[in-house]
């Protein structure tokens, strides 16, 4: 290192020491782990979308608790495998369910959760209305519940002898769809407990989705079929593309796209108007979960390969997110596609901020030109 570089580095450190300490190495500046989240939540200042507050917290002595720019925030509380996750349209609430027989509603600003206790078996599915007001859940003992997310009070819509594999809820929370091992799809009025039965699948119904207005329902099953139903008439259109069980299905809020994931490792995306199919390949094993942004432009998926993928629906290109240490059972996405939530057999709920994926961390920092040069020089020295 020549004298000029030494003087430049010394000057930057002297003039900008506080800011450099606050920022830390840029490649380890965005994400907190579960321990840090717990410490920070006590101050009431944690915001998953506000990374500047995390830099300020670093000044307070949290030390090297930050992960990489592509790592999630982990919400810990479940005592067994996390089977399912959902997220409100605004990204402020996350719901999760698992083998510990509980569902949890998480505040994404504080990391705190409310435990919903009604089920006596594994919670296989959860869904949350767009406004975050109502939560629906279904379990292995055939119970479908609707919850007030604020109070935790529940209404049991029905109990069956067959396992409920999937539930979905309309944007206003007034309609709930469910499907399970009885091969039927049911659409419920959440206020009256009345339901309409939709029949057509020839094997287990593994997944259901419902349009924002509650008029259309999509379902996927072990018969390798995806069906799109008119909830009023009971008529359905069959979409074929999978060569093995359909494990997950979603509909974009604007109704333009339907996506599904299956045991064949495929993510299938249909244009709802034309029926045109696009197949997204990248997962090495089963795809257990899919999610879609409101406008259908982004798709998230998770599977047996322990990864979450964020897909561009138009180009078919994907970004791989690695954070789970076991199978990813579920993914969910906020309406704007900014936040992605995933849950897996590692008993962890992960929250990802897609704004930072695959981008240079320096582009997000409010640094002066001298500081940028210092970081750029440091990175070059680390390579050599």
- Record the pTM: 0.72
Q: Is the pLDDT of residue 300 over 90?
A: yes
Q: How far is Cα 55 from Cα 40, in angstroms, rounded to an integer?
A: 12
Q: Is the pLDDT of residue 181 over 90?
A: yes
Higher-pLDDT residue of 379 and 354 is: 354
Query: What are the pLDDT digits (tens) for 201-237?
Result: 999 999 999 998 888 999 999 999 999 999 989 999 9
So what's the pLDDT on residue 89? 82
Once rounded to an integer, what is the mean pLDDT over residues 167-172?
92
Q: How far is Cα 60 from Cα 62, in angstroms, rounded to an integer?
A: 6
Question: Which strands make up the sheet holding 298-303, listed edge to edge?
Answer: 287-292, 298-303, 307-312, 318-322
Q: How far is CA 268 from CA 239, 289, 299, in A?
A: 10, 12, 10
The domain locations on the chain are: 3-71+363-383, 74-356
Computed over every residue of the chain, the mean pLDDT equals: 76
Please report which helix (H) or strand (E) contains residue 302, including its range.
Answer: strand 298-303
Q: Where does 74-356 sit in CATH, by number?
A: 2.130.10.10
Query: What are the pLDDT digits (tens) for 1-17?
Result: 444 443 333 433 333 32
Query: What are the pLDDT digits (tens) for 278-289?
Result: 999 999 989 999
Contact 196, 157 (CB under 8 A): no
Reference 142, options 169, 116, 175, 166; nearest CA is 166
CB atoms under 10 Å from CB of 360, counted, come to 11
| 3-state class (DSSP) for residue 93 | strand
Q: Which residue has the tokens 């206003």?
A: 172
**Percent of the chain having pLDDT more than 70?**
73
**pLDDT-based confidence at 380, cuts 50/70/90?**
low
So what's the pLDDT on residue 384? 54
Query: What are the pLDDT digits (tens) for 301-350?
Result: 999 999 999 999 889 999 998 888 999 998 988 888 888 889 888 888 88
Tell me which range, 108-112, 294-298, 305-309, is most confidently predicted by mean pLDDT: 305-309
CB atoms under 10 Å from CB of 373, counted, come to 15
So what's the pLDDT on residue 71? 57
Contact 134, 143 (CB under 8 A): no
Reference 188, options 161, 164, 222; nearest CA is 164
């Amino acid at each position: 290192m020549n004298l000029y570089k030494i003087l430049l580095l010394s000057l930057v450190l002297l003039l900008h020491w506080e800011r450099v300490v606050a920022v830390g190495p840029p490649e380890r500046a965005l994400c907190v782990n579960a321990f840090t989240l717990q410490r920070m939540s006590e101050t009431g200042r944690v915001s998953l979308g506000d990374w500047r507050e995390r830099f300020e917290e670093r000044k307070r002595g949290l030390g090297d608790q930050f992960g990489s720019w592509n790592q999630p925030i982990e919400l810990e509380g479940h005592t067994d495998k996390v089977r399912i996750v959902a997220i409100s349209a605004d990204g402020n609430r996350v719901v999760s369910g698992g083998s510990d027989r509980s569902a949890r509603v998480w505040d994404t600003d504080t990391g705190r959760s409310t435990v919903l206790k009604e089920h006596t078996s594994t919670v296989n599915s959860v869904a949350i209305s767009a406004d975050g007001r109502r939560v629906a859940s279904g379990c292995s003992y055939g119970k479908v519940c609707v919850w007030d997310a604020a109070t935790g009070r529940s209404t049991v819509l029905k109990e069956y002898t067959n396992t409920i594999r999937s539930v979905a809820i309309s944007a206003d929370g007034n309609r709930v769809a469910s499907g399970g091992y009885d091969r039927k799809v049911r659409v419920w009025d959440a206020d009256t407990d009345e339901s309409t039965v939709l029949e057509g699948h020839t094997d287990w119904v593994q997944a259901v989705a419902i349009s924002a207005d509650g008029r259309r329902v999509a379902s996927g099953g072990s018969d390798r079929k995806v069906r799109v139903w008119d909830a009023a008439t009971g008529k359905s259109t069959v979409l074929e593309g999978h060569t093995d069980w359909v494990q997950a299905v979603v509909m974009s809020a604007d109704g333009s796209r339907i996506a599904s994931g299956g045991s064949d490792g495929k993510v299938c995306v249909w244009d709802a108007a034309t029926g045109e199919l696009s197949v997204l390949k990248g997962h090495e094993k089963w795809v257990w979960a899919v999610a879609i942004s409101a406008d259908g432009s982004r798709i998230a998926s998770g599977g047996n390969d322990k990864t979450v993928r964020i897909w561009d629906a138009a180009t078919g290109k994907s970004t791989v997110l690695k954070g789970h240490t076991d199978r990813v059972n579920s993914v969910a996405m906020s309406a704007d596609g900014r936040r992605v939530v995933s849950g897996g057999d590692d008993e962890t709920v992960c929250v990802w901020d897609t704004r930072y994926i695959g981008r240079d961390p320096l582009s997000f920092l409010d640094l002066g030109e001298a500081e940028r040069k210092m970081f750029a020089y440091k990175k070059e020295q680390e390579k050599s």
